[in-house]
Chain A
Amino acid sequence: MLSRVAESLFWMSRYFERAENTARFLDVNFNLLLDLNKITPIENPNYWIALILVTSDRDRFAELYSEYTAHTVTDYLVFNKNNPNSITSCIGLARENARSIIESISSEMWEQVNNLYHYLQSVTPQFVHNDPSGFYKEIKNASHLFQGITDNTFSHNEGWDFIQIAKYLERTDNIARLIDVKYHMLLSEAQNQPEVVEGSEDLIQWMAVLKSCSALEAFRKVYLSKIDPDNILRFLILDRTFPRSINFSVCAAEDALWRISGSSRHRYVNNADRLIGKIEAELSYTAIEDIFSKGLHNYLEELEQRLVKVGEQVHLTYFAYHTPEIESPDVDEALPFTGIGGGRANWSQAQQHQQQQ
C-alpha cells in the first residue's frame, strides 16, 4: 500500500473519531447541567472551561472569546474553523483525507464522510442550541455508521488496520484526557468533602464521565450499584472488554499494529510495536492502586505522552518511508506528522491548478 494512502486512511479515521469524542463531551455536559439545574446556574463557566481543558487549547480559546458560556464553547468546539479540533474542522479534514484516497476506500465510506460534511455545512448554531442532544446524537451515529460501513465494505487488510490504529490511539488519548480533567476538577472542588455521597453532585458528575464514554450501563453490569470513583476509574482504564476503556483501546491498537508487521508477543519488529506492546503489557499487570500510588494525573499524563510516541513511530515506520541512499531528506517530511490539512495541504495547491484540456 502506498505510504501516502496509509497515512490518509490513518488521519481520516483519527479525525472522525476526534469529532465523535468532541460531540460526546458536549452532549454529556449539556445533560449534566440539566441534571444539576437546581444546584448550579446553567451558565456556570466551570463546566464549560472543563471542555476546553479536555481539548487542551485554552490559550487559543481565550484569543477568540472573552467568556466561557454554552454559546461560546459550543461555537468553538462545533463550528470554529480556526479551531483545528472543532467538529466541523475534523470532519472537513477527515473528508479531505478521504477525498485524496477516494479510489482506495469503498464508495460507501466516501458517501458517509461526504454526507456528514454536507450535513454540517447546513447546520446553524441556532439549530444546535435548540436541540443539542439531537445534534450530537447525529454526529455520534454518523461516526458509528462510518465505522460499521468500514467494517462491512472495506477489506480487512493493511488499510483497515491503519484505520483501527488511528481510531484506538485517538480514543485512548481522549479517554485519558477526559478522566484527567474531571478528576482534577472534582478533586479541587471536593477538598472539604473527601467522601463521595450517594446522590451528591460529585456522583452525578462521575456518572457523566461514564455516560460520555457510553459506559454507564456497561459499568453497572459489572459493579452493580457501587458507583464510586475507584470503580469508575478501574472500569475506564483497566477493563479489557469495554470498547471505550483505555485497556481495550490499547489492545485493539496493538493488535492492528502487530497484524501489519507480523510482530508477536515474544518478538517485535519495529519501535511502534515495541512501544504499544510495552503499554499494553503494563496495563495488563496494573492495579488501580498502582495508579493511585503514582498519582492519577501523573499516570495519565505519562500515558498521553507515550501514545504520542507511538504515533510518531507509526509515522516513521510506515508513512515517511524512504531509503537514505536514494534521496536527501525532504523538507516536507521533516515536518511533524499531521496528515492532510494539518500543515502541508496547501503547499502545492497553486501548481495543482493546471488548465484542463
Chain B
Amino acid sequence: MSRFFERYEAETSRFFDEVMATEGQARPHYDKLLERFRQFSFDDIKARREIINIFFRNQGITFTVYGVEEGIERIFPFDLIPRVVPASEWQKIEKGLIQRITALNEFLYDIYHTQKILKDKIIPTELILGSQHFAREFVGVNPPLGIYIHVTGSDIIRDKDGNYLVLEDNLRTPSGVSYMLQNRQAMKRAFPVVFEKYQVRPIENYPQELLRTLQEISPASRREPNVVVLTPGIYNSAYFEHSFLARQMGVELTEGKDLVVNNNKVYTRTTRGLERVDVIYRRVDDAFLDPLVFRPDSKLGVAGLINAYRKGNVALANAIGTGVADDKVIYSFVPAIIKYYLGEDPILENVPTWLASNPTDLKYILENLGSLVVKAANESGGYGMLVGPESTIEQQEKFAEMIVANPRNYIAQPTISLSRHPSFFNDNELVGCHIDLRPYVLNGKTVTIVPGGLTRVALKRGSLVVNSSQGGGSKDTWVVDE
C-alpha cells in the first residue's frame, strides 16, 4: 500500500469506494495504479501538480463562476488520481446509454408529431404541454434524419452497492467534454509512466466523431457541409469549451452577430462577404436563439434562424425543444418511455423519484425534507436545489413554500450517498470524495460514445454536489481492458 493510501480512510461500511473493496484491500483493476503511486513521494506529487497547473493556466482552461466579484476566472480543479472503469462495467454503461438515447429520441419525435404516448396515457398530457421547454412551434417539423438529440451528457452515479444509476439526462447543451479531453492530456503530460501498465482506451477522437455527426445531419447534399459552432460569447462560463471544440474540429466559432439570415438561408459575415452555413452546433439556449421567435431582447441569437431551420435550410444540434425530455419530472418516466418505444427493460436504472405534482408524493416530500434532495425541474448546474441532510430548518421551510406554490416545478429523490474516490487534498492527504460520471453520447447515423467521460469530484469535504459552479473538480477517467 502506498504511503498515501496507508492513511486513507475508505469508510467502506458507509460508502461505496471506487478503489478500496474493504479497508486495506484494493479492487483488482486499481492494483497497478496503486503500485505506481506508491513510488511517488510528496515532492513528486507537488512537482507534477505544478506541471498540471501550468498546463491548465497556459491553455486558458478556466471556468467562470457567476455572481462572484473576485476571481471570475478560475482554474478548473483537477484531481491527480485517475478513475479506472473496467471494460466489463463500461460495456453495460454503453449499452444502457444507447438504449436510453434511442428511446428518448423516439419519444421526442413522437411528442412533436403524433403524440401517441400521450394518447396512450403513459405520461400525463399536462406534464408535456405544461413544460416550459415544450416548443409548440416545432410540432410537425422534421429535423434531419429524425434526430433531436445529437449530443448528450448523461450524469451517472453509483449507489452504495456500486450499481450504476442515471441521475440526469442532459439533452440540451451539455458541457464539460473539453475537460474530459484536456484531463487526459494533462495526465499524459504529468504521469506518462502511469499509463505504461494499462490499456487505456483512447478518447482523443471525440472532436472528429462530433464533426462527423454534425456533417451527417447537413441538409444540403451540395458539397462539403459548412459546420459552425455558435457560442453566447466570451463571458459564458463554457466559452473555453466552445472555442476548444471549434479549434479541434477545424470549424468557425461564431457568435450571433457573425451570422445573418437572408431568404431563409444562414450565412456567416466574412471579410470577403457572406458564406453559406449548413449546420450549427449551437451552445446557446433555445430561448436566446432567435429574437423573432423566442425572447425578443436576445442579443445572442440570429434573427430569422428559426424560419431557416423550419424550411430545412440549416440543421441545428441539438434540435429545438429537446429540454422537454430532460426535465426532471419527465426523467421519472424514462423507464416507462424505454419500455413503451423499445419493449425493453432499462439496462441502467433511474434514481427513485417523487413528483411534487402527485398529491401522495407531495405529502411524502414535505414530511421528509430533511432526508431528501429536492430539485427544481428546470434548473441545472446545481442551482435551485436543496440537499436535505445538509440544510437548515429555514432553508427547508423556504423550499416547502416554493414546492407548495408550484408543485409541477419540483421533484425529490433520496439522498444517495454517491460512490467515493480517494482524491488529493493539499497534495499531502487523500480524502474520499463523492464522484459521478458524465459520458458523452453522439447520435448521428449511428450512436457513438467515446469510452469514459468526465468524472466530476465534489472537492469540498463531505459535499455531494459535483457541479463545477459549486466548487466541484474533475479527474481523468480510464476505461481499461482487463
Residues of A within 8 A of B (CB): 1-6, 96, 99-104, 107, 110-111, 114-115, 118, 158, 260, 318-319, 321-323, 326-327, 330, 332, 340, 347-349, 351-357
CA of A160 to CA of B288 in the docked complex: distance in angstroms?
33
Q: Are B271 and A351 in contact (CB under 8 A)?
A: no
Q: Known: A3-B258, A353-B237. Contact between A322 and B270, CB under 8 A? A: no
Residue B380 at the chain A interface, CB threshold 8 Å = yes
| B253, B272, B285, B381: the one within 8 Å of A103 (CB) | B253
Name the B residues within 8 Å of A6 (CB-CB).
Answer: 271
Contacting A at CB under 8 A, from B437-482, are 468-469
Considering the complex, give the chain B residue whose CB is closest to the CB of A100: B234
Q: Are A357 and B381 in contact (CB under 8 A)?
A: yes
Question: What is the distance, in angstroms, from A331's C-beta to the closest C-beta of chain B?
Answer: 11
| B233, B253, B262, B380: the one within 8 Å of A356 (CB) | B380
Q: Are B247 and A103 in contact (CB under 8 A)?
A: yes
**CB-based A-B contact count at 8 angstroms:** 117
Name the B residues within 8 Å of A321 (CB-CB).
Answer: 269-271, 273
| B254, B269, B285, B299: the one within 8 Å of A348 (CB) | B299
CA of A96 to CA of B234 in the docked complex: distance in angstroms?
8
Question: What is the distance, in angstroms, from B52's C-beta to the closest C-beta of chain A?
Answer: 15
CA of A332 to CA of B247 in the docked complex: distance in angstroms?
27
Residue B268 at the chain A interface, CB threshold 8 Å = yes
Considering the complex, give the chain A residue whose CB is closest to the CB of B299: A348
Q: Are B270 and A1 in contact (CB under 8 A)?
A: yes
Q: Are A110 and B271 in contact (CB under 8 A)?
A: no
Residue B260 at the chain A interface, CB threshold 8 Å = yes
| A3, A158, A322, A348: the one within 8 Å of B233 (CB) | A348
Q: Are A352 and B233 in contact (CB under 8 A)?
A: yes
**0/1 string, B81-103, CB within 8 A of A gives 1:** 00000000000000000000000
Q: Known: A4-B255, A321-B269, A356-B175. Contact between A349 and B284, CB under 8 A? A: no
B59, B66, B240, B269 pick with most chain A CB within 10 angstroms: B269
- In addition to A5-B252, A351-B298, A357-B174, 9 A-B residue pairs with Cβ atoms within 8 Å of each other are A4-B258, A99-B239, A102-B247, A323-B262, A327-B260, A349-B233, A353-B235, A355-B383, A356-B175
Q: Are A110 and B175 in contact (CB under 8 A)?
A: no
Considering the complex, give the chain B residue whose CB is closest to the CB of A113: B60
CA of A326 to CA of B260 in the docked complex: distance in angstroms?
8
Considering the complex, give the chain A residue whose CB is closest to the CB of B467: A356
Q: Are B299 and A110 in contact (CB under 8 A)?
A: no
Name the B residues within 8 Å of A107 (CB-CB).
Answer: 59
**0/1 string, B230-266, CB within 8 A of A gives 1:** 0011111111100110110000111101101010000
Q: Are A99 and B260 in contact (CB under 8 A)?
A: no
Per the CB 8 Å criterion, the residue count for chain B at the interface is 52
Q: Are B60 and A99 in contact (CB under 8 A)?
A: yes
Q: Known: A351-B299, A354-B284. Contact between A103 and B172, CB under 8 A? A: no
Q: Known: A2-B258, A260-B271, A326-B260. Contact between A355 and B233, CB under 8 A? A: no
CA of A326 to CA of B300 in the docked complex: distance in angstroms?
19
Q: Are A351 and B232 in contact (CB under 8 A)?
A: yes
Q: Known: A260-B271, A353-B237, A354-B284. Contact between A103 and B469, CB under 8 A? A: no
Residue B25 at the chain A interface, CB threshold 8 Å = no
Q: Known: A114-B57, A354-B232. Contact between A318 and B271, CB under 8 A? A: yes
Q: Are A352 and B235 in contact (CB under 8 A)?
A: yes
Considering the complex, give the chain B residue whose CB is closest to the CB of A7: B271
Residue B153 at the chain A interface, CB threshold 8 Å = yes
Q: Known: A2-B270, A357-B170. Contact between A103 and B246, CB under 8 A? A: yes
Q: Known: A99-B60, A356-B469. Contact between A1 and B271, CB under 8 A? A: yes
Question: What is the distance, in angstroms, from A203's C-beta to the closest C-beta of chain B?
Answer: 46
Question: What is the distance, in angstroms, from B50's C-beta to the closest C-beta of chain A?
Answer: 15
Q: Known: A347-B299, A352-B233. Contact between A326 and B262, CB under 8 A? A: yes
**0/1 string, B29-55, CB within 8 A of A gives 1:** 000000000000000000000000000
CA of A107 to CA of B240 in the docked complex: distance in angstroms?
13
The 7 A-B residue pairs with the shortest CB-CB distance in the complex, in nearest-first order: A103-B247, A348-B299, A357-B170, A352-B235, A352-B232, A103-B243, A352-B236
Question: What is the distance, in angstroms, from A4's C-beta to the closest C-beta of chain B?
Answer: 5
Name the A residues within 8 Å of B9 (CB-CB).
Answer: none
| B58, B172, B300, B469: the one within 8 Å of A351 (CB) | B300
Considering the complex, give the chain A residue whose CB is closest to the CB of B176: A356
Name the A residues within 8 Å of B393 (CB-CB).
Answer: none
Considering the complex, give the chain B residue whose CB is closest to the CB of A118: B57
CA of A352 to CA of B257 in the docked complex: distance in angstroms?
13
Name the B residues within 8 Å of A1 (CB-CB).
Answer: 270-272
Q: Are B269 and A3 in contact (CB under 8 A)?
A: yes
Q: Are A114 and B258 in contact (CB under 8 A)?
A: no
Contacting A at CB under 8 A, from B364-413, are 379-381, 383
